[in-house]
Amino acid sequence: MATTTTDDVLGYDEALTTFDPVMGLEVHVELGTRTKMFCGCATEFGAEPNTQVCPVCLGLPGALPVVNEIGVESAIRMGLALNCSIAQWCRFARKNYFYPDMPKNFQTSQYDEPIAFDGYLDVEIPAATGEGTEIFRVEIERAHMEEDTGKSLHVGGATGRIQGAEYSLVDFNRAGIPLIEIVTRPIAGAGERAPEVAKAFVGALRDLLRSLEVSDLKMEQGSMRCDVNLSLRAKAGDDPTSPEQLAVPLGTRSETKNVNSLRSVERAVRYEVCRHAAVLTSGGSVLQETRHWHEDTGVTTSGREKSDADDYRYFPEPDLVPVAPSREWVEELRSALPEPPALRRKRLLGEWGFSGLEMRDVINAGAIELIEATVAAGAKAQSARKWWLAEPSRRANTEGVDLATYAEQVGITPEHVAELESLIVAGRLNDKMARQVLEGVLDGEGAPTVVADARGLELVQDDGALEAAVDTVIAANPDVADKIRGGKVQAAGALIGQVMKEMKGQADADKARAIILTKLGVEG
């Protein structure tokens, strides 16, 4: 029976004094194929309900599935990127259960013959010593292909859940969209860092799959969904990776469904550790059940009880022929895989010469690809970093979108930033003017040269005008001029400021400085 009562929880640190957490993560990724897994219907997100449907994905009598080759290719590429073996021969299987939003009342999935199996993903987590980072290896049990179900909308209840609803509406647009389910082996040995490992794994998986361009991976739209399995076992010493600890049998697990953001993954693991610990320390036993995650309150509540007696009556799907990817094809796909994001980062860090801190900011801002393209367009790496992480990044944050999305929205390109940089190098713009030009580009006024022209932003190249301005300023500030003549060269800054003011900002500061010093008989 479902309950919404608040469960008791133990403090996290307290829980970890007695228990060792073990996790299992299941991640569903919706593929970005143009058509569904077993029919030709479109997959566009957000279409009017039940407009992207046909006899096949509605499960009409007599309709038959046909496998989407691009879906299989994406699955193989994902498997390869996760260091998996690729099945030489495998079949789809029917997972039989009744649910109103599942048109055939079976899901076409894979059972004991997944397309990819036995892989791993290395993820970076804060080091146990507290300094720097270290690599934690998460083993992948399998990645298999399946189809999504339709979507139910429960109307009339307070919670939007089926309990208490007056009626339900079903949208079958999602039914048949290709999904890849990635299942980890039990993740043990993380100890107190289990929540960080879970978050790092989902984040690294997202980056990896993003580099493959197989999915848009928008967790908020449900194109990447995560289920968190968690159990606790008795702690056997301080080292969570010790043989003694790993030999302790696993406890009963809970399965928290649909945890749909990186931060929530971390919070859900943490919450379940605390909840299990409270149950176990009070002498109770953990129920094997599915739990619902509540993003707003940060807690899980009981869903339905689940037991090993759940019987999906799997059997090989007789309407589809086996999938038998040739080894040549698999190798071809393997050789065409993009560089893994972690390696790429390491390489770029070396090439760009950023500090660790700078690189972290770049990663957090999601600016790697933009900087890489800007460098390719001719800019220096440091300049590219500086410009992307300034105004564009700030505005993207304000808008609440990632940098790449923001850039696409306002139409600023890596070529624009490289152009901006080249205007500075050519001496046409100074730093301050460049910032104004950049704002113009972000405001949609056009390419940097166009903006500079339109706004009349250009350093004065006429040395005569500059010399006249310097003369005026020296004459107006005899005290400062004397100090400089006396060797206090740093005092030139005050005069440069005045010259800039005189020139309405359109002077080249370096040049002004040189002229001032020459005129006062001091060599810079």
Partner 1 sequence: MSDPTRMTAAALADALASGDLSSEQITRAHLDRIQGVDEQVGAYLHVAGESALAEAREIDDRRAKGEDLHRLAGVPIAVKDVMTTTGMPTTAGSKMLEGWVPPYDATIVAKLKAAGLPILGKTNMDEFAMGSSTEHSAYGLTRNPWDLERIPGGSGGGSSAAVASWQAPLATGTDTGGSIRQPAALTGSVGVKPTYGGVSRYGMIAMASSLDQGGPCARTVLDTALLHEVMAGHDPLDSTSIDQPVPDVVGAAQRADVKGLRIGIVKELTGEGFSPLVQARFDESVQHLVDAGAEVVEVSCPNFVHALGAYYLIMPSEASSNLARFDAMRYGLRVSPDGIDAPSAEQVMAASRDAGFGDEVKRRIILGTYALSSGYYDAYYGSAQKVRRLIADDFAAAFGSADVLVSPTAPTTAFRFGDKTDDPMAMYRGDIATIPANLAGVPGMSLPSGLAEDGLPAGFQILAPAMADDRLYTVGAALEQRLVSAWGGHLLEQAPELAITKGA
Among 130, 318, 400, 464, indicate the residue that binds partner 1 (CB under 8 A): 318
Among 55, 160, 356, 497, indicate the residue that binds partner 1 (CB under 8 A): 55
Collapsed DSSP state (helix, strand, coil) of residue 83: coil
When asked if residue 487 is in the footprint of partner 1 (CB under 8 A), the reply is no
Alpha helices in 247-376 (DSSP H): 262-281, 327-335, 341-352, 356-365, 368-376
When asked if residue 49 is in the footprint of partner 1 (CB under 8 A), the reply is no
When the beta carbons of 248 and 320 are compared against partner 1, the nearer one is: 320
When asked if residue 168 is in the footprint of partner 1 (CB under 8 A), the reply is yes
Residues between 97 and 136 with contacts to partner 1, criterion CB under 8 A: 98, 100, 103-106
When asked if residue 35 is in the footprint of partner 1 (CB under 8 A), the reply is no
When the beta carbons of 318 and 456 are compared against partner 1, the nearer one is: 318
Provide the 10 A C-beta neighbour count for residue 390: 13
Provide the 10 A C-beta neighbour count for residue 495: 23
Q: How many residues bind partner 1 (CB under 8 A)?
A: 29
Q: Which residue has tokens 């500090």?
A: 355
Contact segment (CB under 8 A) with partner 1 among 61-69, 122-130, 216-224, 274-282 equals 61-69
When the beta carbons of 66 and 128 are compared against partner 1, the nearer one is: 66
Q: Give the CA distances from residue 324 to residues 79, 83, 179, 181, 321, in Å, rounded to whole numbers and listed in that order.
A: 15, 19, 19, 19, 9
Among 2, 47, 64, 390, indicate the residue that binds partner 1 (CB under 8 A): 64
Contact segment (CB under 8 A) with partner 1 among 133-141, 317-325, 330-338, 361-369 equals 317-325
Cα–Cα distance between 409 and 25 in angstroms, integer?
34
Residues near 175 by beta carbon (within 8 Å), at least 6 away in sequence: 53, 57, 58, 101, 102, 103, 147, 148, 149, 150
Cα–Cα distance between 471 and 473 in angstroms, integer?
6
When the beta carbons of 34 and 360 are compared against partner 1, the nearer one is: 34
Beta bridge partners of 305: 289
When asked if residue 91 is in the footprint of partner 1 (CB under 8 A), the reply is no
When asked if residue 486 is in the footprint of partner 1 (CB under 8 A), the reply is no
Helix (H) or strand (E) holding 109: strand 106-109
Cα–Cα distance between 414 and 378 in angstroms, integer?
10
- Backbone φ and ψ for 90, nearest 5 degrees, come out as -150, 165
When asked if residue 51 is in the footprint of partner 1 (CB under 8 A), the reply is no
Contact segment (CB under 8 A) with partner 1 among 200-208, 307-315, 385-393, 435-443 equals 307-315
Collapsed DSSP state (helix, strand, coil) of residue 425: helix
When asked if residue 94 is in the footprint of partner 1 (CB under 8 A), the reply is yes
Name the site residues for partner 1 (rule: CB under 8 A).
55, 58-67, 94, 96, 98, 100, 103-106, 168, 170, 311, 313-315, 318-321
